[in-house]
Structure 1
Amino acid sequence: MIIAAVGDVHSPKFLPLFLKSLGEVPVNIDAFILLGDIVEKNNVEAFAPVYQAIRKRFENVPVIGVFGNEEYRGFEREYYAKYPEISWLNDELRVFGLNRFKTCIVGTRGALDKPTPWQASNIPGILEYYRDLPGKIAGLLRECRDSAAEITILASHYGISYSNLKGEKPSIYPYLASQRMSEVVKPELVDLVIHAHAHNAVVEYTVVNNVPIYNASLPGRGRILVIEVKPRRSILNWLAKPR
């Protein structure tokens, strides 16, 4: 199965780079995943040229979206209403038939080890939300496993580990990712994690708990990532069964 993944388009800021990169994505992908901060400062209208360009190139490919910090909390329904063709995942899961695989995708803004000063002052309960989210995501990943999905993907806007943040200032790591999220990333639950948000991180790919993690931030990568996903988790579970 082949997916395309990108975040941090910040339309219209990086829209020209996105459109250029889109032309380099093979047409045989099975899904296109948007990892948040697709617009700048909650400019709902600026999402349209991104989606329209995807749909023009990939007429029948499922488009899955998660929100970032630039798609402001409390405005989710505006995105649902204006872009209903997108499979939005807001701390939710959905099962898709992609290629020949039953695929479960868990989508979330993600958690941070520290709320930004603005978040702490303006979003009631954000500290508790970040504290509790890893447990909720773990539960969703278990639901994916119990659904007998052959492939499970975790799509988050924020990072889930500090291990691929090199290039960013270490002092801001807690505002870019949650180390506690890495604790729920286990090979028996998830096959792939993709995220964005870390614009300056130079590490594209890392492994956490034997699970591949990709940073698909557009300004960081300079392109849309195209990733071949294999059902590693199903194979590991099969090997672990008593014979």
Structure 2
Amino acid sequence: MKIAAIADLHVREDASVSHRAMFNEIGREADILVLAGDLTDLGKPREAELLAEDLRGCGIPVVGVLGNHDHECNAVEDVTHVLREAGMHLLDGQSVELKGVGFAGVKGFAGGFGRRMLASFGEPAIKAMVAESVNEAMKLENALRQLSAERVVAIVHYAPIEETVSGEPLEIYPFLGSSRLAETIDRFPVNAVVHGHAHHGVYEGRTPGGVRVFNVAQRIEKPSGKPYAILEI
């Protein structure tokens, strides 16, 4: 099973960049397309409409999650509606099985990695931030529990491991992802994880439990030599 994966398209309402040719190419090369968040630049419904128009020629199932940019304008419901109406399987704590492969997806959240993860201590604002990170991990756990497929892919926007954000400024590591996602993933038989968000990170790493993790942000250099990755699951 060939899965094409890309994140951080950042579609703008001025339609300055079209992804139609790329999606048409993906439709010929892969069986399923995964979009790992930041599909729009400012979370505007018009941006989602432009993406939906470009996706029409893809011709294969499309599954994915939203990212932080897709929440900017507080129009998540409208953006979600547009993309689902276009046929995309947009996941937020849900799962879906496509062509024998199970997909579980959430946006994820920040919080840091390993022993340096932010702890729920101190001000209410800090506790709220940690609670959001824990909630996203729990949503991913619930989605993974729903799957019985032999092959499983987890889709997140925020990074689940530190390895694939390497190359970003150290100061922003805590805002690029959370190890809580990896802890959840390692409790299930997951074949691969895809994420975005870290535009200057690296392509591949592994969770502590050995699950392959791929940073498919559009700017990341990939073995395919193209903006999207091709994964064989």
Q: TM-score range by the shorter chain?
A: 0.7 to 0.9
User: What's the counterpart of residue 227 of structure 1?
Assistant: 231
Is the CA contact 2:194–2:215 (under 8 Å) kept in the aligned structure 1?
Answer: yes
What stretches of structure 1 of length at least 5 have no aligned partner? Answer: 230-243
Whole-Å separation in 1 of the counterparts to 2:179 and 2:193 = 14
The one-letter code matched in structure 2 to 1:223 is: P
User: How far apart, CA to CA, are the structure 1 residues paired with 2:143 and 2:180?
Assistant: 16
Is residue 2:132 matched to residue 1:133? no
Q: CA RMSD in A?
A: 2.8
Cα distance in structure 2, aligned partners of 1:25 and 1:140? 26
Moved over 6 A (4+): none
Contact 1:91 1:107 in 2 (8 A): yes
1:168-216, Cα deviation, whole Å (9 max, x unpaired): 0112111001012111222742111000000111x10112222110001
Aligned position for 2:92: 90
**Aligned twin of 1:191:** 191
How far apart are the structure 1 equivalents of 2:124 and 2:3? 37
Is the Cα–Cα contact under 8 Å of residues 94 and 105 in structure 1 kept in the other structure?
yes
Q: Runs of 5+ in structure 2 lacking a partner?
A: 113-117
Give the structure-1-normalised TM-score.
0.77
CA distance in 2, matches of 1:28, 1:89: 23
Could you state the TM-score of these two structures normalised by the residue count of structure 2?
Answer: 0.80
In 2, Cα distance between equivalents of 1:14 and 1:224: 20
Indicate the residue corresponding to 1:51 in structure 2: 52
Give secondary structure in 2 for the equivalent of 1:80.
helix
- Match for 1:140: what amino acid? A
Residue pair 2:43, 2:79 contacting (<8 A) in 1 also: no
Match of 2:70 in 1: 71
1:104 corresponds to which of 102, 105, 110? 102
1:1-243 alignment runs, 5 A limit: 1-12=1-12, 16=17, 18-19=19-20, 21-22=22-23, 24-25=25-26, 27-56=28-57, 58-59=58-59, 61-72=60-71, 74-83=74-83, 84=85, 85-96=87-98, 98=99, 101=100, 103-113=101-111, 125-144=128-147, 148-186=148-186, 188-201=188-201, 203-208=202-207, 209-221=209-221, 223-229=227-233
Q: How many residues align?
A: 214
- For 1:70 and 1:167, locate their aligned partners in 2 and report how far apart those are by CA, in whole Å: 21
Gap change, CA 1:109 and 1:135, over 3 Å in 2: same
